[in-house]
């Protein structure tokens, strides 16, 4: 899980440009094209596809796990582009100016774009959903990984025995003294705050906002906000706060490297990246085929080894070793108490909840 501070507009492919001669040669392969699995791509354009994404480590994992195998199979070069949020996608589609093929976006934004009618339906005749998690195969978007919003602590302040045992203790300074940190945004923060107020994780939606804001009230004097994943990690690692929320991918390497940070998947909130195809995309068929490549079990296993975000294809887990499984939020050993974020809730209720959250911040 990444944020806008990580945006990178660099190219995702270091492979050769597919020129006209190469394309013509591919078109002349005839039956040989069947070997690739995508014969129609060899008969036609495009030679490149543009895939906006979050950049950073996620971009690198996408490249090695998905884009390079897809390019090898199809001959289509994948070009990166800066992350596009809901507003930018809406403007692009509304103005009939779609110049990207498929894009990586936060799942809550994907759900909102689907509500607005701005996406092409996913062709599950091309994208095999038979072994995907139930949450992954949506009508207008497909989840491609599972990250987690988790509790982390500075090991000079707490250890695994003394740290807050759950969100209720996290939001109770009387139970555990110390400086806290939270993401300065309603999604994810209000979910854990509601659990801190006692809302059961299996009945988390609709979010009990009264409980959530009462939890925030309790820690307000001891609270430091963060606005980027890098900042979230540094607050805890640097000891500016004793315990805080982070995305697991931001602290796993620091923990391995021996820095003073630890974290838990207990009661984690699963937050996901999705892939969407904007309405009017010119290379829709090829975009579906790229998405099919992204959810293949073996490619998902490569992705999980590159960055500690879990797969959405259940056949991936047997392909991973114990060391990798231990770092994944939704591996069999880590998924016992976590809960998926409800993306439809934020698509339906987001604007009103954002208003309440902002009013609380100003109060």
Q: Whole-angstrom Cα distance, residue 102 to residue 273?
A: 13
Tens of pLDDT, residues 72-105: 999 999 999 999 999 999 999 999 999 999 999 9
Tens of pLDDT, residues 237-293: 999 999 999 999 999 999 999 999 999 999 999 999 999 999 999 999 999 999 999
Q: Do 147 and 249 form a contact (C-beta atoms < 8 A)?
A: yes
Is the pLDDT assigned to residue 216 strictly greater than 70? yes
The SS3 of residue 278 is: strand
pLDDT at residue 231, as a whole number? 95
Q: Do 242 and 173 form a contact (C-beta atoms < 8 A)?
A: no
DSSP 334: T
Is the pLDDT assigned to residue 20 strictly greater than 50? no
DSSP 176: S
pLDDT at residue 2, as a whole number? 54
Work out the mean pLDDT of the chain and round it to a whole number: 89
Q: Whole-angstrom Cα distance, residue 281 to residue 84?
A: 15
Confidence bin at 12 (pLDDT 50/70/90): very low
% of the chain with per-residue pLDDT over 70: 88
Other Cβ atoms closer than 10 A to 307: 24
Is the pLDDT assigned to residue 119 strictly greater than 80? yes
Helix H or strand E encompassing 68: helix 68-74
Tens of pLDDT, residues 297-317: 999 999 999 999 999 999 999
Residues 6+ apart with CB under 8 A from 68: 13, 15
- Interhelix angle 186-196/343-362, rounded to 10 degrees, is 80
Q: Do 81 and 33 form a contact (C-beta atoms < 8 A)?
A: no
Helix H or strand E encompassing 276: strand 273-276
Q: Whole-angstrom Cα distance, residue 98 to residue 95?
A: 8
Q: Which residue has the higher pLDDT, 28 or 211?
A: 211
Give the ranges where 134-203 is alpha helix by DSSP (H).
167-170, 186-196
Q: Could you give the count of Cα atoms lying within 13 Å of 112 in the half-sphere of its Cβ?
A: 16
Q: What is the mean pLDDT of residues 205-227?
A: 97
Residues 6+ apart with CB under 8 A from 98: 92, 278, 279, 280, 281, 282
Write down the pTM of the prediction: 0.85
Listed as own residue / partner, the contacts of 251-259 with beta carbons closer than 8 Å and 24 or more positions apart are: 251/152, 252/308, 252/327
pLDDT at residue 1, as a whole number? 62
- Closest alpha carbon to 40 in 293, 294, 289: 289
Quickly count helices (H) and strands (E) in the chain: 15, 11
Q: Whole-angstrom Cα distance, residue 280 to residue 100?
A: 10
Give the ranges where 267-319 is alpha helix by DSSP (H).
284-294, 297-306
Other Cβ atoms closer than 10 A to 326: 14
- Closest alpha carbon to 320 in 305, 335, 308: 305
Q: Do 3 and 228 form a contact (C-beta atoms < 8 A)?
A: yes
Burial 249-261 (b: 16+ CB within 10 A, else e): bbbbebbeeebeb
């Amino acid at each position: 899980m990444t944020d806008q501070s990580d945006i990178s507009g660099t190219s995702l492919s270091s492979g050769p440009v597919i020129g006209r001669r190469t394309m013509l040669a591919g078109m002349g392969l005839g039956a040989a094209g069947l070997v690739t699995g995508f014969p129609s791509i060899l008969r036609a354009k495009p030679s490149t596809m543009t895939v906006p994404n979050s950049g950073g480590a996620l971009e690198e994992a996408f490249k090695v796990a998905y884009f390079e195998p897809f390019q090898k199979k199809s001959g289509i070069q994948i070009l990166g582009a800066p992350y596009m949020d809901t507003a930018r996608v809406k403007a692009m589609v509304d103005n009939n100016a779609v110049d990207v093929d498929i894009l990586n976006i936060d799942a809550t934004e994907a759900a909102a774009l689907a509500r607005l009618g701005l996406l092409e339906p996913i062709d599950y005749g091309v994208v095999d959903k038979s072994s995907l998690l139930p949450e992954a195969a949506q009508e207008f978007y497909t989840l491609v990984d599972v990250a987690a919003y988790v509790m982390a602590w500075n090991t000079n302040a707490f250890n695994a025995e003394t740290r807050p045992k759950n969100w209720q203790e996290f939001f109770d300074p009387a139970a555990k003294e110390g400086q806290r940190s939270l993401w300065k945004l309603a999604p994810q923060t209000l979910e854990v705050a509601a659990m801190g107020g006692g809302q059961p994780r299996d009945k988390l939606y609709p979010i009990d906002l009264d409980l959530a804001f009462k939890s925030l009230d309790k820690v307000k004097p001891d609270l430091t906000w963060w606005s980027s994943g890098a900042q979230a990690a540094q607050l805890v690692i640097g000891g500016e706060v004793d315990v805080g929320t982070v995305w697991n991918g931001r602290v796993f390497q620091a923990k391995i490297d021996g820095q003073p940070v630890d974290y838990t998947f207990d009661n984690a909130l699963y937050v996901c990246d999705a892939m969407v195809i904007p309405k009017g995309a010119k290379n829709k068929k090829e975009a579906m085929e790229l998405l099919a490549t992204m959810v293949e079990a073996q490619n998902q296993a490569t992705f999980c080894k590159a960055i500690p975000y879990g797969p959405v294809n259940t056949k991936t887990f047997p392909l991973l070793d114990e060391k990798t499984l231990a770092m994944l939020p939704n591996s069999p050993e880590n998924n016992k108490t976590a809960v998926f974020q409800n993306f439809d809730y934020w698509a339906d209720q987001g604007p009103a909840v954002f208003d309440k959250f902002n009013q609380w911040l100003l109060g």
